[in-house]
Structures are given as structure tokens and as C-alpha cells.
Amino acid sequence: YAIQRKKEAMEQSVSKILPLLLDTRTRLFTAGINGNVGELCKFMVVSNKNVKDLMQKDPESNNTILHRICTKNRSKAFSFLQSVLPKEEFIQYLCQANMTDQRPYEYSVRYGSISIAKKIFDIKEVRAKIENN
């Protein structure tokens, strides 16, 4: 009887938790919004993903994790992405609009992410793109 109860408990809990653990997009965006650099590294190593996989878009909003990092002032995660992405690609992602035509640099200003806004506007290529638009 005890074995059957354990089996039932496992089936009930695992069936609810396992899909969340296996959903890489959910894990990625959760790590991004929490600014968890360790989880982002783990995502790349354990899940065998590359930097481009980190920058995938959310199909519902067209956000990347950079949009979310900029809303929550996650400076370490921002610096991590800046260091692993080539400079030109990083700048493209900073200037990439989501479905509501908002860019990560706009989110950093709107949500008061001062340290990230400073880092963004210290990049002369970003300033030039903003001035040209």
C-alpha cells in the first residue's frame, strides 16, 4: 500500500512540475527577469545552448531577455550579455523593438534602471542610432 501511495504522489507532483523544469524558454526568461547570471550560464552549459539561444524572442510579446533585464535593473545580467555577445549584435538587440514598439534602452529609462541606462548610453554606437531615429 505504501508503495502505491508513493507512486501516486510522484505521478501527481512530477506531472505538474516536470513540464516547467523542461520548458527551456520559461527557464530562460525567468533567469533573465531575475538577473540570475549563474542560471543563464547553467542554461548554456547544461542545456547545451549557445548565445543566440539566450536571445530568443518570446512569441507572445517579441521580447528578448534583454527587454526584461532592462525593466528590472539587472546590471550583472546585462553585463554578462554584453560580454558574451559580439558588440554589433548586442547593439542590434538593444535597438530591437518588441510588439509594442518598445526597445530595451527605452525600458531602462521608463522603469528607472539607472545603472543599465548609463551603460547603454555610454555606448557611442547606441547613442548614434538613437539620434538618427
pLDDT tens figures, 14-23: 556 655 555 7
Q: What is the pTM of this model?
A: 0.79
DSSP string for residues in the chain: -HHHHHHHHHHHHHHHHHHHHH-HHHHHHHHHHHT-HHHHHHHHHHTT--HHHHTPPPTTT---HHHHHHHTT-HHHHHHHHHHS-HHHHHHHHT---TTS--HHHHHHHTT-HHHHHHHHTSHHHHHHHHH-
pLDDT tens figures, 32-82: 889 999 989 988 888 888 888 889 998 899 999 999 999 999 999 999 999
